[in-house]
Structure 1
Amino acid sequence: MTLQFEEKALKYYSDVCVNKDLVRKASIGTESVPMYVSEWIVSRYLTDGQVDAAARQKMRDFVNKHLPLKDQKEQLKSKLKNGGTLLILDTYSVEVNLRTDEYILKIPCLDENRATIESYIVENYPLLLNGGVWGVGRLEYQSPNGKENPFGQIRMVDFRPMQAATIDLDLFCEQRQHFTLEEWRDLLISSMGYNPTFYTPEQMMLLLTRLIPIVQERVNLIELAPKGTGKSFVYLNLSRYVRLISGGKVTAAVLFHNNATNQSGLLTRFDVVVFDEAQSLSFDNPNEVIGVLKDYLESGSFSRGGKQKNAATAGIVMLANIPLAADGNPRFENLFLNLPDFLRETAFIDRIHGIVPGWQLPRIEEGSISKQIGFKADFFGDILHTLRHTAGYEDYIKAHGKIIGTNDVRDRNAIIRLATGYLKLLFPDLKVSQDELVNYCLRPAASLRQLVRDQLTIMDPEYKPSFIDVAAI
């Protein structure tokens, strides 16, 4: 049965929508690519909008031909050596070598870090310099040629990225008027890959909160939940502007700036840096990293070792598992009790804008995955990225909202940024009533920050209780 929001999505956004259930049914045979790549493949080979046997075979042929397994790399290199050409779907990235005045191409599926690339490709697709772009690259091999070229090299001579259609933000915002708030929310949830009929309205607001750091600059969140609630799903699958780091040890060079190579770190190259499995996160030289990170969370800038100060707009998201009691609530009043030392420091926690109570979400199961119409993931990710840099929304919050119960600058900044994110997501056309502004933007933002204030009060008597409220002006 087609739902009302699906009918309207197909009517007003037909070119940029996809049936999420068809993507699942297509079963293209790989889990190594993000959702927006799978949707791109499926959309290319649908037969009259359906996945029939012929379409499924074409998809499998495409994957088998252009998405090689790692154990095939020597066969592929041999083909190149013997004069063949490869068309490979991979996540390509480019670095600049100023010593040799050339671009260096990385090809993960071949474990190749010293390939070259035609300059015009980098000029046409500068995102290649930002840490990785999924696309189909045409690769050739240049044999050694005496002193002029003493070593053989793989070279990319053409590239087709996984690109959304041209983004028309004005049209996107204008078409919002045809949806009720509930229909629009359902469409956003389905676009994220979740089934809107599976979740309560309150749970859907928590799911949408995961998008705020993507759509709003410099929003810092931590989501605390048990395993299996899908904390990292959106960050892995929705946007090429998000980089996820899963547990382990993180260095200052990777995160901020590599002084040895003068290469920018993740914070300057992505919209959001996500630390998954934060309960097992550690830092190489933690005193330096935490100090610089706290500076960045506060000011949006950082410097390392006396080097030039760098500014960035990336948000920080931390995802951590916490134990629950029998009633489904956190086992300990102090939510950070079992987390690493730096996440038990109140000066660090105070710089986090909101705590997402992920324990209020159910575990991911078959029924929680979208089977409905939704925006294509590549289009949706690019819309969020474009909205991120669009002016007017934060000014609207400041002009029409009022924060009560706290004059703390960090509290107020956090609520304004979070509320701005909700406004961009739910009311991109800025057609919002006073009640909607309070109930769907200001109050959810205040509740996220209230959890931070409550934890600070529990952990340190220096922080006095603060009960935050909001209202429309």
Structure 2
Amino acid sequence: MMLHFEEKALQYYGEVCVNKGLVRKASIGTTSVPMYVSEWIVSRYLTDGQIDAAARQNMRDFVNKHLPSKDQKEQLKSKLKNGGTLLILDTYSVEVNLRTNEYILKIPCLDENKATIEPYIVELYPLLLNGGVWGVGRLEYQSPDEREHTFGQIRMVDFRPMQAATIDMELFCEQRKYFTLEEWRDLLVSSMGYNPAFYTPEQMMLLLARLVPIVQERVNLIELAPKGTGKSFVYLNLSRHVRLISGGKVTAAVLFHNNATNQSGLLTRFDVVVFDEAQSLSFDNPNEVIGVLKDYLESGSFSRGGKQQNTATSGIVMIANIPLAADGNPRFENLFLDLPEFLRETAFIDRIHGILPGWKLPRIEAESISTHIGFKADFFGDVLHSLRRTAGYEDHIKAYGQITGTNDIRDRNAIIRLATGYLKLLFPDLKPSQEELVNYCLRPAASLRQLVRNQLTIMDPEYKPLYIDVAFTQQ
């Protein structure tokens, strides 16, 4: 039996919704693709909205034929060499080589970084230039030509992107009016891949906090939690505009700008850059990277080695595991005690807008995964990306939100940005009541920032204790 939010989702949003339970049940046999790709495959082969034997076989055939594993790459190259054509589902990306006046195509499943592509494809799908697009590419091989002094190359001659069609954002926002706040929140949580019935209202607001840096420009968050709470799940599976870096060493060239190649870094190409396993994160030439990163967290701009100033709107999310005591709360009052040195510096922490208390969320188990209706992940990810650039929400927070208990500019800016993100998520139609604006936008934002202030007070006597409160301002 469908829940109310599911019935309304199908009634008012129709084909951009999917049964998350069916996607899970389909079990297409690969963990190498994000959730939005799996949903695209399943939605394509459902029979009257259900998975029957024929649909399951078609899905398996599609995956086996068009989603090859890395160990098949030499066989596939051999097929191309012998005159065959490949149709491959992969995340393709394109770079511009100004020296040769060419587009250079990257094909991850073939470990191919110097393929070529028909220029018209790039003109049709410019997102290929922004870090990669999942889609089905038709690949052919061009043999070397001694007379023309050309080498053999793989070439993409056709492409069908796996992405949502053009989104009617006005309609998306308008349809919000048919849902209660609880129904809409359930729909958002289910769209993230979580089962709303498994979580308390407070926990669902923490889950939604993971979306705030995706939907709002230049939001910096750190989530601290034990292992197994699904901290990176959303960032891996929801949006192609998010880039996740898992532990290890990060260079300034990768993150900001490569001066040698004049190529822009991740912060200029993605909406959010996520550092997973931040407890093991390190930087190549840490003094340079951390100095530039602090400037960026503060101003949204950076420069490297005397080169020109760059601006970006990407948010920074850091995810780290921390130990818990027997009562389920953090073992140490100083939450940053076991983290890398740069994450124990108050000047850095103060530039983080909020701490997401992941220790308040339960471990992921079978019942915590959604089996309900939700927005298709590729559609939902593009909605968040579109809302990110939509004006009016921050002005609404500034006009009707009142922050008390602190006059610190960083505190106030952090709360405004976080609250704006919550407003976009929960009230895209910009029609919250006074009580809703305070309780579901301003207060959750203030609580995330309050945790930052509490840590600063613990770590440095220069930061005096304070209690942040919020209210609605009558106009």
Partners of 1:223 and 1:75 lie apart in 2 by 43
Partners of 1:53 and 1:27 lie apart in 2 by 13
- Cα distance per residue 1:365-418 (max 9 Å; x no partner): 000000000000000000000000000000000000100010000000000000
Alpha-carbon offset, residue 148 of structure 1? 1.4
Partners of 1:458 and 1:300 lie apart in 2 by 28
- Cα distance per residue 1:53-76 (max 9 Å; x no partner): 100000000000000011111110
Partners of 1:227 and 1:147 lie apart in 2 by 60
Partners of 2:120 and 2:300 lie apart in 1 by 33
Write the mapping of 1:333-352 to structure 2, written as runs, cut at 5 A.
Answer: 333-352=333-352
Task: Say whether the 8 Å CA contact 1:354–1:452 is kept in structure 2.
Answer: yes
Partners of 1:178 and 1:80 lie apart in 2 by 53
Alpha-carbon offset, residue 357 of structure 1? 0.1
Hey, what does 1:144 align to over in structure 2?
Answer: 144
Alpha-carbon offset, residue 150 of structure 1? 2.9
The structure 1 segments of at least 4 consecutive aligned residues displaced by more than 3 Å after TM superposition are: none
SS at match of 1:122: helix
Counterpart of 2:65, as a letter, is K
Hey, what does 1:264 align to over in structure 2?
Answer: 264
Hey, what does 1:371 align to over in structure 2?
Answer: 371
Hey, what does 2:3 align to over in structure 1?
Answer: 3
Q: TM-score, normalised by structure 1?
A: 1.00
Using the TM superposition, name which of 378-387 and 144-153 deviates more: 144-153
Task: Say whether the 8 Å CA contact 1:116–1:155 is kept in structure 2.
Answer: yes
Hey, what does 1:82 align to over in structure 2?
Answer: 82
SS at match of 2:197: coil
Hey, what does 1:124 align to over in structure 2?
Answer: 124
RMSD, aligned α-carbons: 0.5
Task: Say whether the 8 Å CA contact 1:418–1:445 is kept in structure 2.
Answer: yes
Task: Say whether the 8 Å CA contact 1:225–1:322 is kept in structure 2.
Answer: yes
Alpha-carbon offset, residue 195 of structure 1? 0.2
- Cα distance per residue 1:203-255 (max 9 Å; x no partner): 00000000000000000000000000000000000000000000000000000
Hey, what does 2:115 align to over in structure 1?
Answer: 115
Partners of 1:332 and 1:345 lie apart in 2 by 17
Hey, what does 1:412 align to over in structure 2?
Answer: 412
Write the mapping of 1:315-394 to structure 2, written as runs, cut at 5 A.
Answer: 315-394=315-394
Counterpart of 2:24, as a letter, is R
SS at match of 2:363: coil
Q: How many residues get paired? A: 473
- Cα distance per residue 1:338-366 (max 9 Å; x no partner): 00000000000000000000000000000
Alpha-carbon offset, residue 187 of structure 1? 0.2
- Cα distance per residue 1:92-111 (max 9 Å; x no partner): 11111111110111111101
Partners of 1:354 and 1:76 lie apart in 2 by 47
Q: Which runs of 5+ in 1 are unaligned?
A: none
Hey, what does 2:170 align to over in structure 1?
Answer: 170
Counterpart of 2:102, as a letter, is E
Write the mapping of 1:38-49 to structure 2, written as runs, cut at 5 A.
Answer: 38-49=38-49
- Cα distance per residue 1:302-356 (max 9 Å; x no partner): 0000000000000000000000000000000000000000000000000000000
Percentage of matched positions with identical amino acids:
88
- Cα distance per residue 1:406-465 (max 9 Å; x no partner): 000000000000000000000000111111000000000000000000000000001111
Partners of 1:224 and 1:357 lie apart in 2 by 6
Partners of 1:135 and 1:165 lie apart in 2 by 13
Hey, what does 1:301 align to over in structure 2?
Answer: 301
Counterpart of 1:396, as a letter, is H
Hey, what does 2:30 align to over in structure 1?
Answer: 30
Hey, what does 2:439 align to over in structure 1?
Answer: 439
Alpha-carbon offset, residue 127 of structure 1? 1.1
- Cα distance per residue 1:136-157 (max 9 Å; x no partner): 0000000001141431000000
Hey, what does 2:312 align to over in structure 1?
Answer: 312
Counterpart of 2:375, as a letter, is F
Partners of 2:180 and 2:429 lie apart in 1 by 13
SS at match of 1:13: helix
Hey, what does 2:457 align to over in structure 1?
Answer: 457
Hey, what does 1:231 align to over in structure 2?
Answer: 231
Task: Say whether the 8 Å CA contact 1:190–1:196 is kept in structure 2.
Answer: yes
Q: Does residue 19 in structure 1 map to residue 1 in structure 2?
A: no
Hey, what does 1:103 align to over in structure 2?
Answer: 103
Task: Say whether the 8 Å CA contact 1:85–1:138 is kept in structure 2.
Answer: yes
Hey, what does 2:58 align to over in structure 1?
Answer: 58
